Each structure stands twice: as structure tokens, then as C-alpha cells.
Amino acid sequence: MIRFIALSGFLGAGKTTTLMAAARTLEEQGRRVAVITNDQGADLVDTQLAQSHVDRVGEVTGGCFCCRFEDLVSVARTLVDDGNVDTLLAESVGSCTDLQATVVNPMKRYYGDEFTVAPLTTVVEPDRHRALATALRLEDTESDLSYLFGKQLEEADVIALNKIDTLVQAERREITGRLAQRYPQAKIVAYSAATAEGITDLVDAWGNDTGSGAVLEIDYDRYANAEAQLAWLNQRFSSSSPQGFVPQTWATAALMHLSARAATKGWTIGHAKVSVRSGTALTKLSLISAGADPVANTAQTEPVHSADIQFNARVVCDPTDLDAAVQDAVRAADDAAACISVPLAAPTAFRPGYPVPVHRIQA
């Protein structure tokens, strides 16, 4: 039987880096692992990052797993057949919830003879938890984004607190204690995908259990409103410079410019990611907060003459404003790195549509 492990969690929680760290640990245990990424659009930075760490990677684009469920099954089967895979790690869209009813339970009911489903895991990181902490209050005080964030935690079998390397011990105890008190149905696992501290505990939490399959009571209008607050942009560029340019310089300048624009405008950044690929070398930087500095997952500091660049951004603003902000960020990055970037398609920021799952099944 193929082990199917689904991860949810809000934008910027570190799901992709968690998948990479978990995949390494599982492979060290003798498992044959593949990864499935997911997005509302195409041209994913996360897919490129996954491909740089894992041999077998698939993606489901154009909608979340719940709305593209048969695509998810098709991609999973292809990876299993082509790669002799026995473990699938699937990362859902960061603005998605209700996965027990729309992914976990349908997978068990219709494909239980092919896949065993691990406990549903929700990844959360400390800063986002603090920023959306109104999800821990009464519903009538919540923003819709906080409501969505809270529902992701409410349905989790495992709550995975990432980035504990950024916390002192007292902060770790405080946050894990609060999560355990608020969400008693979930096992709380604290770890760091960046340093691999605690990653074995997370892998062990998936064990042989199949999870609860417990279905949320959820207001789909509020869920849809939360998703619709986010402008969503995926865009590719071809960049070149006769004298050479440094990929890390370009990516840093682009995200710093967007960070400053968001801080000035009062926009909330779900996440923004830039990948710069030249040959086999990959640079990937992330930004999860307006006014913050980007963080490098992998960086190339040697000059290159040409590169393929992918820019993914999820920001609480109007889509036309995000289009303009990314265009300005690209120009600023070109100036900083002394190169020229040509868009491979016109900017097309959009808002996600109303979620319409293929299945919604009680446990």
C-alpha cells in the first residue's frame, strides 16, 4: 500500500521546506518518496525547489486539491507507477481548509485499496500564529483570514509548529501549550525544517495511524471571502546580462522592493517567492511579512549570463496593484543586478474563485 501524507497550513508556514526535510528523513529510513505541490495557478517556485531536492515531483495546478481531486489522484498514480514510490507527500494550497472532508475522506472511501492515508498535518509558524491570533477568540471578533487560519488548525490531526529555531525555550513552551489547550484533538509536534531539529518526531507522528477524518462545521462564504482577499500572481521572466549578474542579488532586490511597497501600502503578505534557475543551479528566496527581509532557502552567488525566473506572490491587495508592484520590483531588481528581465507572459494577478470541492464526505 502507498502511504499518502497530506500537509495543510497557511501561506508562509514552511510547508515546502518541511516536505523536503521530511522526504530526506523518510528516504534515510528506506522509503521511496515523491512530492506533490499544489497551487491556484501555474509556474510554481515550490515545484522547482522540490525538484532540486527530490527525484520524483508532481504538481496539481489551477485549483486546490479539493477542487481538483481527480487530478490529485491521477498525479499520485503516475508518480507511483513511474517512480516505484511507496510514500507520497502532498502539500495543499496555503489558503485551503476542509481537507478532511474533501481530500482525506474521499481518498479513504474511493481509493482505500491503493492508498493508506496518514493523519492530516497542519503546519504553523510562530510569527503567523501571532499575527492571526484572533482565530483563538470568539468567532464574531475574527477576520475572515483568521477564521480560515483557525479552521486549518481545528481540523488537524497533527499540528506541526515549524521554525522553532527562531524561538527560545520559554516561547516554545508557551506556543505549544496554547495550541494543545485550544486544539486538544491534535498531536502537537515542534520542529525546524531549516535545521532538521525535531523532524524525526514529525515523521514518527504520521506513523501507521490513518487520522480522525473528523469533518469541520465551516461557513464556505467566510472561507471564500478569506481566499478572495488575496491577490494571486505567478509570472515568469527570462533574464540576461552580457557581463553576468548574481541571482541572489536579483531575488533579494525584488523581494525587498515588494516588502517595502507592502509596508507602505499596509498590505498583508501571505507569501512571495522568487526562484532563479541557471542551468542546474537554483536560487530561491521567500518573504512572508511586509517590511521584513527575505529569507534564502538556497542561493547562488556566482554570476550567470542568463536565467529563468519565477515570481510567485500572494498579497492582500487589489490584483491590479499587485501586477504593478511586481513590475516595479522586477525593474528594481534589474537595476540592482545589472541585467534585463523580459516577461514571458503578461501579468495576470487574480483572486481565487469560490471553492467548489468535488467531494465532501463525512468520516
Tens place of pLDDT per residue across the chain (363 aa): 999 999 999 999 999 999 999 999 999 999 999 999 998 877 777 788 777 778 899 999 999 999 999 999 999 999 999 878 999 999 999 999 999 999 999 999 999 999 999 999 999 999 888 877 654 454 455 789 999 999 999 999 999 999 999 999 999 999 999 999 999 999 999 999 999 999 999 999 998 778 888 999 999 999 999 999 999 999 999 999 999 999 999 999 999 999 999 999 999 999 999 999 999 899 999 999 999 999 998 888 999 999 999 999 999 999 999 999 999 999 999 999 999 999 998 878 999 999 999 999 987
Give residue 14's pLDDT: 93
How far apart are the C-alpha atoms of 56 and 47, rounded to whole Å?
A: 11
Provide the 3-class DSSP secondary structure of residue 318.
coil
Instruction: Name the residue type at position 233.
Output: L
First-to-last CA distance in the chain? Answer: 21
The three grid cell numbers given for residue 193, joined into one nine-digit string: 525544517
pTM for the full predicted model: 0.93
Give residue 135's pLDDT: 45
Q: Kind and range of the H or E element at 322? A: helix 319-337
Pick the CATH number of 2-226 from 3.40.50.300, 3.40.1410.10, 3.30.1330.60, 2.60.40.740: 3.40.50.300
Q: Kind and range of the H or E element at 238? A: strand 230-245
Other C-beta atoms lying within 10 Å of the C-beta of residue 273? 27
C-beta of residue 347 within 8 angstroms of C-beta of residue 80: no
Select from 232, 238, 254, 237 the least CA-distant residue to 323. 232
Give residue 44's pLDDT: 76
Q: Where are the domains of the chain?
A: 2-226, 229-343
Give residue 51's pLDDT: 79
Phi, then psi, of 116 in degrees rounded to 5 = -100, 135
Longest Cα separation, the chain: 60
* Topology adopted by domain 229-343: Alpha-Beta Plaits (3.30.70)
